[in-house]
Amino acid sequence: MAIRGRAHKVGDHIDTDLIIAGRYLVTTDPVKLGEHLFEDLDPGLRQRIRPGDVLVAGENFGQGSSREHAPLALVGAGVAAVVAASYARIFYRNAFNNGLLLLECPEASRAVQDGDELEIDPQTGEIRDLTRGELYRAKPIPPFMQELTQLGGIIPYVRRRLGREAS
């Protein structure tokens, strides 16, 4: 199913402390975490994000702490997908394990402007900027990550594997 929402742009090297500050890591509830999303980066940003919107980031998005609360906060705030030039590795794994769609596309990361209307096809990785009439293609998701995504992350993947081994 296609994702359609407004773009919210953030910069390079956005760390997981900026996504969700350490002081809020006393819950695992995505909605509660989502209330404080990006609080130290831009206190008004959370209020501008509507369910289904898309975050557009620069290089190395999600650097720093391994807190899985970061992708959970994005999910809890209703962010449907992230488009970035590149991702930090622990965040990348954590996002896939929590069903948050990540697309790697340096061109879109540069060209899309804050507030643009985007349409994303998760299957093909096509990113349409409806405001500007541009089309971008994200780098293909590695086959193993596609499998993880289709199953819903590492937990269903392990469940399936253990079930298969048991039967």
Partner 1 sequence: MGMTITEKILASHADLAKVEPGDLVECRVDMLFANDITAPLAIQQFERIGVDRVFDPDRVAFVLDHYSPSKDIASAEQCRITREFVRKHGLPHFYDVGRAGIAHVLLAEEGFVAPGELFVGADSHTCNHGALGAFATGVGSSDLAAAMATGRLWFRVPPTLRFVFRGTLPRWVTGKDLVLRIIGDIGVDGARYAAMEFAGPVLQQLSMDERFSITNMAVEAGAKNGIMEPDEAVLEWIRPRARRPFQPVYSDPDASYAAVHEYDVTDMQPVVSAPSSPANVVPVTEVTGVRVDQCFIGTCTNGRIEDLRQAARVLAGRRVHPDVRLLVIPATPRIYRQALEEGLIQVFLDAGAAVSTPTCGPCIGGHMGVLADGEVCVSTSSRNFIGRMGHRGSRVYLSNAAVAAAAAVAGKLVHPDEVVREPARV
Binding site for partner 1 (CB under 8 A): 13, 15, 17-18, 21-23, 25-28, 39-41, 59-60, 63-69, 72, 86, 88-90, 93-94, 97-98, 142, 144, 153-155, 157-159, 161-162
What's the closest the beta carbon of residue 84 comes to partner 1, in angstroms? 12
Nearer to partner 1, 97 or 120 (CB): 97
What's the closest the beta carbon of residue 83 comes to partner 1, in angstroms? 17
Nearer to partner 1, 8 or 69 (CB): 69
Encode the chain in three state secondary structure: CCEEEEEEECCCCCEHHHHCCHHHCCCCCHHHHHCCCCCCCCCCHHHHCCCCCEEEECCCECECCCCCHHHHHHHHCCCCEEEECCECHHHHHHHHHCCCEEEECHHHHHHCCCCCEEEEECCCCEEEECCCCEEEECCCCCHHHHHHHHHCCHHHHHHHHHHHHHC
Helices 69-76 and 89-97 sit at what angle, rounded to 10 degrees? 50
Nearer to partner 1, 135 or 162 (CB): 162
What's the closest the beta carbon of residue 127 comes to partner 1, in angstroms? 22
What is the Cα Rg of the chain in Å? Answer: 16
Nearer to partner 1, 23 or 48 (CB): 23
What's the closest the beta carbon of residue 101 comes to partner 1, in angstroms? 16
Nearer to partner 1, 14 or 118 (CB): 14
**Cβ count within 10 A of residue 94:** 22
